[in-house]
A = this chain, B = another copy of it.
Amino acid sequence: MINKVYPSPQAALDGLIRDGITLMVGGFGLCGIPEKLILALRDSGAKNLTAISNNAGVDDWGLGLLLQTRQIRKMVSTYVGENDEFARQFLSGELEIEFVPQGTFAERIRAGGAGIPAFFTRTAVGTPLAEGKEHHDFEGHTYVMERWLKADVSLVKAWKADTVGNLVYRKTARNFNPMMAMAGRVTVAEVEEIVPAGYIDPDSVHTPGIFVDRIVRTVSVKRIEQRTTTPRA
């Protein structure tokens, strides 16, 4: 029987990473990122990568690590504020970036996974992000056509997996991971726990195993960007 469980992040990426490929990387800020797979990706040394990810990490964590090593040539993102190295490479022209509104970003990735090459949205109509794209009127409103996004490899983070690849996410660490799992030609999931098939309630599966090719268990660091608290009265 097919074994989807890999012993290490390095092993889980074995044979998948080449110069110039397009990757999707899950996470919102540093929340729900496949942190150890990103480290393994850095250690692979692959260059000229296109990274589709909501953010670009911070200087020394998340995708920021691959900016330090200049392995990323292009990013497709919605917001990249928290990263000095990003700003430097972007302003110097070393790094190409495609900004996408966040809802359009999520939907384009879902479309890539669902076999929908294009869809229409009102988001961004009349703004620079809709310029040069096809427009279409429906029921008296103008919409812009947006294309699907797909990846050679998707790296996602989940809380729990079973051995056949079903995934469950935890709280807001879910974010873009489920759609990215669908839109990768190969999807690798980094998880905190792996249970036998049958140990996840089939009604509670977030990502069915069909979308997941490889699984690796790691111990998460889970860095927090903005630790905000309420003082106890």
Interface residues, chain A, with chain B CB atoms under 8 Å away: 107, 111, 114-122, 136, 138-139, 141, 143, 147, 168-171, 174, 202-204
Contacts and interface: CB of A to CB of B under 8 A. Distances in A.
Contact of A139 (B114, B117, B202, B204): B117
Contacts of A118: 119-120, 136, 138, 143
Contacts of A141: 117
A152 B168 CA distance: 34
Contacts of A143: 117-118
Contacts of A168: 203
Contact of A203 (B111, B139, B147, B171): B171
Contact of A107 (B114, B117, B121): B114
7 contacts: A115-B121, A117-B120, A117-B138, A117-B141, A118-B119, A118-B120, A204-B204
Given A107-B114, A114-B107, A170 B119 contact: no
A139 B117 CA distance: 9
B203 A169 contact: yes
A170 B138 CA distance: 36
A116 B117 contact: no
B119 A115 contact: no
Q: Which 9 A-B pairs have the closest CB atoms?
A: A117-B138, A119-B119, A118-B120, A204-B204, A116-B119, A117-B120, A117-B143, A116-B120, A116-B121
Given A107-B114, A114-B107, A203 B170 contact: yes
Contacts of A203: 168-171, 174, 204
A138 B138 CA distance: 21
Given A116-B119, A118-B143, A119-B120, 9 more contacts: A116-B120, A117-B138, A117-B139, A168-B203, A170-B203, A171-B202, A171-B203, A174-B203, A203-B204
A136 B118 CA distance: 10
Nearest to A173: B203
A172 to B, nearest CB: 10
